[in-house]
Amino acid sequence: MELMQDTAFDIETWRDDTIAQILEGDIESPDGYARIAHALHDIRIRDVICYHAVNGNSRHIKEIALLAAAEVPAKERADAYAIAAICNAVNGREAIARSFSRLAFAADKDHNLSRLLGMAWLVGRNRLTDAVPEVFGELSLDQCRNGNK
């Protein structure tokens, strides 16, 4: 029984390590980028990365997201494309943000973040460059990392 506890997967440690790896850019291979693309499916990782994108680290995060998207099949790219949309929106690149938002939706029509980006247009916000900072700027890092408590 003790062996199982020692080798048990600690999801919170994995999340923290993965977030640090993305923020530090410590990814050295195509397999590493593929692992990042899959890790972005975890809502806690994805939301923390979105938080950092909105709060000043968008260019670096966009690059990581696009490199990650390139390493996985098209149907698995929704998170990376949605993050790229957010990064472009906070940098004032509306047309590119909308394009990545559409790519995210095309990759997975049930993807909640790409649907949220699409809804931002429908609720009176014609521009993602206006909506993204407003929506994501309301969240704290703690809310992104630990959920809505």
Locus of tokens 């291979």: 29
Q: Check whether 96 has a pLDDT greater than 60.
A: yes
The pTM of the full predicted model, rounded to 2 decimals, is 0.86
How far apart CA 24 and CA 49 sit, in angstroms, is 12
How far apart CA 149 and CA 146 sit, in angstroms, is 7
How far apart CA 104 and CA 115 sit, in angstroms, is 9
Counting DSSP H helices and E strands in the chain, the numbers are 10, 0
What letter would DSSP give residue 149?
-
CB 118 within 8 A of CB 86: no
Biggest CA pair distance of the chain:
57
Confidence bin at 7 (pLDDT 50/70/90): low
Tens digit of pLDDT for each residue in 34-86?
999 999 999 999 999 999 998 888 899 999 999 999 999 999 999 999 999 99
Q: How many Å is the Cα radius of gyration of the chain?
A: 16
